Amino acid sequence: MNEIIGMIIIVVGVVFDTIGCIGLVRLPDVYNRLQAATKCVTLGTCGIMFGIFIMQGFNSLGIKALVCIPFIFLTAPTAAHALARGAHLFGVKLWEKSVCDKYEEDKKEM
Amino acid sequence: MKRIVLFIVAFLLWLLLTSALDWQHLSIGMGVAFLVAFLFGNIFVQQPEKCFQIKRYLWFCYYLPIFLWECIKANFDVAYRVLHPRMPIHPGIVKVRTQLKSDMAKVCLANSITMTPGTLSVDIKDEYLYIHWINVRSQDMAEATKLIVSRFERILAKIFD
């Protein structure tokens, strides 16, 4: 029974990972692509980890998978933040149909 | 004091990762945790007395399901925008203001904002956050603050400030 539930959660995780990758290809600029990459890929990967934990139970492999989840939650948004900030400071433009860019306006004042 | 907190965290993590309780593993773990605590004790926590207040952990337990629910909502939101044939996105960078004081709280707020529907934190300057929003609903600072930040700010202030 645990095997089946774990498999289902892993499949859901893989589906979200796939959607994240499609987003990485389809969306127009760096910042939108980062949105898809961080959100979908984080939950997808955590789903895979959690599925492994359900399948293995409380042995060494399962606990290691469980410990990985908070680390992914801490590092993925930090990496996305660093990439977005670096791209903006380097001068990567937003998509031409973007609504507003308050960060650019404030950078000129400084 | 700071080093003791880091020592406890490092040693617990070691126990979880090895999941073995014989004296060889424990002594090596003690040694490594002591080394880590000695080298990096100064940069891990700023106010160690906060780590021993039970109230903060209870608020954290209250915050976790809210955060996870927002996270799952974010995934379906992004999946909808990505898979929709016309891609209904109106991206832009807006500016919001936070009342949180400590660095740790700001980091957690920025992480929570990144994991919630359609928003990605780009930069922090003092009390202003620059947020990339995939579907801009308001360019006004006060309005955007209400829509993005206020969900978490109240709880995070109780946990970290």
Q: Give pLDDT tens digits for A23-51.
A: 888 888 888 888 888 888 888 888 899 99
Based on the domain organization, do B41 and B21 belong to the same domain? yes
Query: Based on the structure, what is the number of domains in chain A?
Result: 1
Based on the domain organization, do B44 and B57 belong to the same domain? no
* Partner A contacted by B15 (CB < 8 A): no
Nearest to A98 among B72, B83, B91 (CB): B91
Based on the domain organization, do B36 and B67 belong to the same domain? no
Least confident stretch, A8-12, A73-77, A104-108, B72-76: A104-108
Distance from CA of B121 to the nearest CA of A (A): 6
Q: Which residues of A touch B (CB under 8 A)?
A: 16, 19-20, 22-23, 26-29, 31-32, 34-36, 38-40, 42-43, 59-60, 63-64, 67, 73-74, 77-78, 80-81, 84-85, 88, 94-95, 97-104, 106
Based on the domain organization, do B127 and B108 belong to the same domain? yes
Give B93-146 pLDDT, tens digit per residue.
888 888 887 778 888 888 888 887 778 888 888 778 888 888 777 777 777 777
Over 90: is that where the pLDDT of B77 sits? no
Based on the domain organization, do B43 and B112 belong to the same domain? no
Show Cβ contacts of residue A9 under 8 Å, excluding neighbours closer than 6 positions: A47, A48, A50, A51, A54
Over 90: is that where the pLDDT of B7 sits? no
Q: Using a CB-CB distance cutoff of 8 angstroms, which residues of chain A are in contact with residue B118? A: 35
Based on the domain organization, do B35 and B67 belong to the same domain? no
- Of A2, A3, A33, A1, which is closest to residue A19 (Cα–Cα)? A33
Distance from CA of B134 to the nearest CA of A (A): 7
Based on the domain organization, do B74 and B117 belong to the same domain? yes
ipTM: 0.78
Based on the domain organization, do B26 and B63 belong to the same domain? no
Based on the domain organization, do B11 and B22 belong to the same domain? yes
Over 90: is that where the pLDDT of B81 sits? no
Percent of chain A with pLDDT over 90: 12
Mutating which of A39, A108, A109, A110 best tests the B interface, going by the most B Cβ atoms within 10 A? Answer: A39
pLDDT of residue A110: 62
Based on the domain organization, do B71 and B92 belong to the same domain? yes
Based on the domain organization, do B84 and B124 belong to the same domain? yes
pLDDT of residue A11: 93
B 40-79 near A (Cβ less than 8 A): 71-72, 74-75, 78-79
Based on the domain organization, do B66 and B46 belong to the same domain? no
Query: Based on the structure, what is the number of domains in chain B?
Result: 2
Over 90: is that where the pLDDT of B63 sits? no
pLDDT of residue A10: 92
Over 70: is that where the pLDDT of A109 sits? no
Domain that holds residue B116: 53-160
Q: Collect contacts of B101-110 with beta carbons under 8 A, ≥24 apart.
A: B101/B161, B102/B46, B102/B47, B102/B160, B102/B161, B103/B46, B104/B45, B104/B46, B104/B160, B105/B156, B105/B157, B105/B159, B105/B160, B105/B161, B108/B156, B108/B159, B108/B160, B109/B149, B109/B152, B109/B153, B109/B156, B110/A77, B110/A81
* Partner A contacted by B94 (CB < 8 A): yes
Domain that holds residue A88: 2-109
Mean pLDDT of A51-58: 88
